[in-house]
Structure 1
Amino acid sequence: MKDIRPIRSDADHEWALAEVARYFDKEPKRGTPEGDRFEVLLGLIEAYEAKHWPISAPDPVEAIKAQMAQTGRTQADLAVLIGSRPRASEILRRQRALTMQMIRKLSTDWHIPAEVLIQPYRLATDNRKRA
């Protein structure tokens, strides 16, 4: 393929971005030489960006809070979904872990990816000394 090379530096990355940018107005047809070039460049860019600027998924509680903010949902809506107002509060305060049933409901009804919700996350701990 015409002048395709590995992306090893930020300068190479900028070059590759400029190369694919010209295809954005009119994406080349798959299976054509230009279409193949476009796909290879996108793959190289994606691999370079994943290595140099990885984006980690939010933790489950932050994902729930973000979804609530984006959709205008409230803690009361979460309580209705999971069946308990105190549990909703405990989850948002990190005092209770999500159960598989809660994860299923959040994934199905609120469209939060299950793979985000099943990640391990920090729960609040009781730092008071025991007598």
Structure 2
Amino acid sequence: MIAEAIKASNNLIKVVPLLGGSNSKADYEQALELVEYLIEHQPDHPLIEMLTDKVAKYEDSAPEFAAFNARITALPGGVALLRVLMDQHNLNQSSFVNEIGQRSYVNRILKGERSLTDKHKAALAKRFNLPFEAFRED
């Protein structure tokens, strides 16, 4: 059984090199495609968790994400989450009229000139199906 498990994992790493620790952009993109496919067609597949862990590690350390990661780290938590959600959902500052207000107000929040209010946080949490606490400012 142990030998079979090792052989199976080695074969999986050959097919999905990111699982073996590859830091190639092509392997990262392949893993993302596989995650998207699995989420859409087999959302309970155990490979999703393994892949998303490796994808997150790649995104935390890859040079092409360094500037983005530095900007996110420097922001208050709620604003950082808002920026990530904007990126993930291809949204812009005009996309939050119902949750925050006009584009200019969203821009001021993103620049750190204004803070998210509890009303904003509640509306964003509802829109993205996240807990209110996810938008905390610490």
TM-score band w.r.t. shorter chain: 0.3 to 0.5
Larger % of helix: which? Answer: 2
Larger radius of gyration: 1
Give TM-score, length-normalised by structure 1.
0.43
